[in-house]
Amino acid sequence: MTHAPYSPSSSPRTDRRRCMVHGVAVLAAACTLALGGAAHAESWPEAGKPVRIVVGFPAGGGVDVLARAVSVPLAKELGGTVIVENRPGAGGLLATEWAAKQPADGYTVYLATPGSFTIWPSLRKLNYEPAKDFAPVSLMVTMPNLLVTGTQTPYKDVASLLAAAKAPDTKIDYASGGVGTIGQIAAEQLNMLAGTKMMHVPYKGTAPLLTDVIGGVVPVTFSDPSAMSLIEGGKLRLLAQTSAKRSRLFPDTPTMAEAGVPGYDLSNWYGMVAPAATPKAIVDKLNGAMVKVMALPEVQKQLAGAGMEAISSTPAEFGKHMATERARWADLIAKANIRPE
């Protein structure tokens, strides 16, 4: 048997020395990167360079109200300028795709919603991956959806609605803002848990949807809290809220579980994310500022007026929340056989 000649360059001692040198180099590089990120965060945001809060919906909607409520106090916390930029289209899809491709320098953040981050990934091919293309910053608000009906319907509570929905000679439709919206998910969760077969009637906007529910064209819908003015004005009847526990904003309204649908739990939410490669030090700085902003009494009061309950979280908690929601709604979408339009 012929052996290769001994070479000092391949001796065990030399190999160990090389490994040690390589390990020190890697550690040094990691430390340099971490220190560089921390230094970047110290100088961020730079004077005269605004941080943009991007909203994927038109001005005046719930997400826009949130962005404008936090922009001024957030700027104060960061010691810089914060502006709100509306990029509406396709229910937030276009803005989400755009935000995923922005420079990861901390100057562009995005307000995430359930549709584009936890529902649509199970319904259509997207040009972004929520878990890979975005870095969670913080949850910002939570709110229940509201099960409402027109005041001319015979449904005084959830029990009477379910009784009618289960009757063999009754057909009940529900309205939503379209396939893949949180309103459709809320109704399909009711169908699954209560054994009903209410049929979906999709709309292209909240205004025409609520007009038809008021007029009795479609008997029920799961609306966001913007319907409260119509409820208080006597045009809609509020039957229940969808969260697991009563929201402090609607203390006298029963939850769906309390109203006879055990296990029902759905909450709408909005939160802040940044492009995935945004330095951790900047994400942490943003998170610390958001925690302080969402605790401000004046911000909480303004958001409560729009039916939103101000909250906050760590980036890890927000990431876990979105992952849990994605898995949960993927299961419901499959079982309810929901298909894209």
pLDDT of residue 2: 41
Q: Name which of 114, 219, 232, 131 is nearest 170 in CA terms.
A: 219
pLDDT in tens, the chain (341 residues): 444 443 444 555 555 555 455 555 545 444 454 555 565 678 899 988 999 999 999 898 899 999 999 999 999 999 999 999 999 988 899 999 999 999 999 999 999 999 999 999 999 999 999 999 999 999 999 999 999 999 999 999 999 999 999 999 889 999 999 999 999 999 999 999 999 999 999 998 788 999 999 999 999 999 999 899 999 999 999 999 999 999 999 999 999 999 999 999 999 999 999 999 999 999 999 999 999 999 999 999 999 999 999 999 999 999 999 999 999 999 999 999 998 87
Question: Which domains, from first to last, does the chain contain?
Answer: 51-143+267-335 (3.40.190.150), 146-241 (3.40.190.10)
Tokens 């009711």 belong to residue: 190
Tell me the C-alpha distance between 214 and 230, whole Å: 9
Q: Is the peptide bond before 103 cis (omega within 30 degrees of 0)?
A: no
**Tokens for 111?**
């307000």
Are 108 and 55 contacting, i.e. CB atoms less than 8 angstroms apart?
no
Entry pTM: 0.85
What distance in Å separates the CA atoms of residue 43 and residue 63, rounded to the nearest whole number? 29
Cβ(39)–Cβ(46) below 8 Å:
no
Q: Can you read off the two tokens belonging to residue 316?
A: 């890890």
DSSP letter string over 102-135? S-SSSSEEEEE-HIIIIIGGGTS--SS-HHHHEE
Q: Where are the beta strands (DSSP E) in the chain?
A: 51-55, 82-86, 108-112, 134-144, 146-150, 173-176, 199-202, 220-223, 236-241, 267-275, 309-310
What pLDDT shows up at residue 19? 46
User: What per-residue confidence (pLDDT) applies to 39?
Assistant: 56
What local confidence, expressed as pLDDT, does residue 140 receive?
Answer: 98
Contacts of 192 (CB under 8 A, 6+ apart): 332, 335, 336
Could you tell me which of 199, 193, 187 has the C-alpha nearest to residue 146? 187
DSSP 8-state code for residue 225: G
Which residue in 145, 159, 144 sits closest to 258, CA to CA?
A: 159
- First-to-last CA distance in the chain? 71
DSSP state of 8: G
Q: Write down the pLDDT at residue 113.
A: 96
Q: Classify 156 as helix, strand or coil.
A: coil
> Do 86 and 52 touch, CB atoms closer than 8 A?
no
Identify the bridge partners of residue 199 per DSSP, sorted by sequence position. Answer: 173
